[in-house]
Amino acid sequence: MDNRSDCDDRKVRTSRKILIIIYGLKMVILGQMQREQAAEDFIERNDGAALIAIAGSDAPDSSYRLGTREYDWHSHVRGLIFCVESGLAHVRTSHGSWLLPPNRAGWIPPGEPHWVHVVSALSGWSVIVTPDACRQLPDRPCIFSINELTRELVRRAMSWPMPDDLDPAKERLTRVLLDEMVRAPLEPIDLPMPSDARLARIARAVFERPDDPKTLEEWADWGAVSSRSLRRMMRIETGMSFGQWRQQARLTRALEMLAQGTPVAVISDALGYASPSNFIAMFRRAFGKPPARYFSGRAESR
């Protein structure tokens, strides 16, 4: 009888522990959902906490939704700093097109229209900042490196509750986090777009058909512009020669395809290279490592 009573007591205690764990998990999930909803509301507000950090995932209810999807052109009242920890994000703005590889941070200033295509990204984070708090950050979209201190500060900020205001300790950490981002070195993974209508038409065609072997002169004829004007205006409007811009466009497409798991030989052929070895050599010169190690290397460095 005593043994049966002890067994029943153990079952009751075990059941209580399970219920407590389930309740705790529900509260954590509910708190995260409330936090993400609040962040989604605050991104269009000037008031409240100067900085709000949220985790990103491919979960259906995530306000920073990752995975593989496209966000059409839009803008926010607050500035947006975002990072993917796997996969890739392709971002377009009025200033051009750029790629966000894993463990780099993208910056979108307040009110800046942007288009985003996320590819195979399962985790990441975003930080939304009031216009007043981000005055020292660049006035144009860009990519910058992030260090371990920045990552830890973002993780700390993601654990904060969602009050309208931050206490003095959190305000100090906010200033340190923003200082780290202001001082971070910029990453040259951008593809500036020319503003001249004729050049922009040529640039879009080059980007969409990276395997097209046309020379500068042939592209100039195609775009109804003189080769001299194309050469001169491309340098003025993008800071690159036509050849440099075309190579950067190919690198952009290569990173997108790599993030989707496309084999190197297929990418090489799609970009118009004579052989995979030629493509690998170009990629290594640009990024310091072969394409097969580009994403794995970044994941290992975390």
pLDDT (tens digit per residue) in 148-206: 999 999 999 988 876 667 889 999 999 999 999 999 988 767 778 787 889 888 988 99
Tokens of 179: 């200082």
What pLDDT is recorded for position 276? 92
Q: Give pLDDT, residue 31.
A: 46
- Enumerate the H helices of 69-121 as residue ranges: none
Q: Which residues contact 89 (CB under 8 A, 6 or more apart)?
A: 82, 99, 100, 106, 116, 117, 118, 119, 121
**Residue 270: predicted pLDDT:** 92
If DSSP codes are grouped into helix, strand and coil, which group holds residue 40? helix
Output the pTM of the full model: 0.65
Phi/psi-derived region of residue 239, left when phi > 0, alpha when psi is between -120 and 50, beta in every other case:
left
Output the furthest CA–CA distance in the chain (Å, rounded): 100
- CB contact at 8 A, 223 and 236: no
Instruction: Tell me which of 4-8, 51-55, 207-211, 254-258 is least confident.
Output: 4-8
